[in-house]
Amino acid sequence: MLASLFAIGLAPLLATAQLSGSVGPTTSYASKADNKICSVLDYGGVADNSTDVGPAISSAWDECKDGGVVYIPPGDYALDSWVTLTGGSSCAINLDGIIYRTGTDGGNMIFIEHTTDFELLSSTSEGAVQGFGYVYHADGSISGPRILRLYEVVDFSVHDLALVDSPSFHFSMDTCENGEVYNMIIRGGNEGGLDGIDVWSTNIWIHDVEVTNKDECVTVKSPAQNILVESIYCNWSGGCAMGSLSTGVNISDITYRNIYTWSSNQMYMIKSNGGDGSVSNVLLENFIGHGNAYSLDVDQEWSSMSTVDGDGVQLNNITFSNWKGTEADGAQRGPIKVNCADAAPCTDITIEDFAMWTEEGDYQWYWCESAYGEGACLEDGDDYTSYTTTVTVTAAPTGYSAATMASDLTAAFGTGSPIPIPAIPTSFYPGLTPYSALASAAATSVYPVRA
């Protein structure tokens, strides 16, 4: 989508601010479909929720990966053997059906690698993958497969899909470039290790996505450059994050904007324990939160991670701007925590337009350690010696009140029964219209499905 906007000079100013160039496929879906359509029904696929559709997907890919569309029509399909799709160019996969996991292997249910000019979508906005992760989670296991992984995919988009109840991670982008991910919903169980979207790549735009789980909502890992994440709805989730950061960290030019977080672990967390390398040029703005345990949380002594060798990851030029809402209990977990490594102090940190208040009790605290910059409890100057400061706040700040979302969940999805496949929402942040309408609303000429 954005590639065409760049071409005609109409790319949204907010969207292009952090990206290094165009993102998305370079050839239209219609052109690929005009060239060739490979329906899995013609390669042995049967929409009976019993016959393994894996071989049919692989065969259709082999026929259409050099310029065509792999089409999975509406219907219910069983996936018993995982698919690794490699070497595609100017191709697409249109998943209008629902794929149900029946296999038990580890790894990745759908793995796409070494592919360029690629689109994965549902033209009806009703396509989904149901991972039935509860079968694993009921026994306390998260060792099952991931639903979707992209590796070394360039000039691509993934959109209009639901990924539900993955046994492990839902969606990972590893060493990819120039990608756009949007109009998606991810529903996972209330269990750690069930990440929503993890990205360590270059020049990626992720927007208009809702995630429910108990771990990462949308998270940047190392190495990563020029990542723009906006209009994200963390709806009873672990929350957005960066990390865990270890050794050789190389992350720069990251923006999260218009992030709504409801009843989650944190609004945003940068987490590490030891290590080395750097994170620089990060903007985290327009965050709304309600009922979250943590809010702004930088923790370079993160106790859930084993200490690794190194003095600490250097954090520099990080801005938190326009944060509103309420935290669950500001006396137990204050809304500002910037805990930096004494041997690698955080520098040029800015906290501005920050107004949050506690839902329980009548006070909250801010905690800063070895963090330098402007705002809250940060120290200024360039004499970077270790320090710890705690500030107690006993009055609600002006302007902390913030909107809620109509779809805020009243409870998490458990780990002992199937999670229903939801419809993709049309709102991901209070008052904002998504950048792109659902594919189902587009003219049929945009997403033709039959020759």
Active site residues: 215, 290
* SS3 of residue 59 by DSSP: helix
Rounded CA separation 216/234 (Å)? 9
* CA dist 175 → 20, 200, 275 (Å): 16, 6, 21
Bridge partner residues of 93 (DSSP): 70, 120
Rounded CA separation 183/127 (Å)? 12
8 A C-beta contact, residue 114 and residue 24: no
Instruction: Please report where in the chains the tokens 């009243």 appear, as a residue.
Output: 410
Q: Count of alpha carbons within 13 Å of 256, Cβ hemisphere only?
A: 29
- Which one-letter amino acid corresponds to residue 4? S
Neighbours of 105 (CB within 10 A): 12
Rounded CA separation 361/359 (Å)? 7
Task: Please give the DSSP secondary-structure letter assigned to residue 418.
Answer: P
Neighbours of 347 (CB within 10 A): 18
Residue 293: Cβ-neighbour burial (10 angstroms; 0-12, 13-18, 19+): middle
The encoded tokens of residue 22 equal: 């165009």
Neighbours of 396 (CB within 10 A): 17
Note if the bond before 244 is cis, omega within 30 degrees.
yes
Residue-wise burial string across 356-384, b where 16 or more C-beta atoms lie within 10 A, e elsewhere? bbbeeeeebbbbbbbbbbebbbbbeeeeb
- Which one-letter amino acid corresponds to residue 236? W
8 A C-beta contact, residue 247 and residue 275: yes
Residues in the chain: 451
Indicate the helix (H) or strand (E) that contains 58: helix 54-64
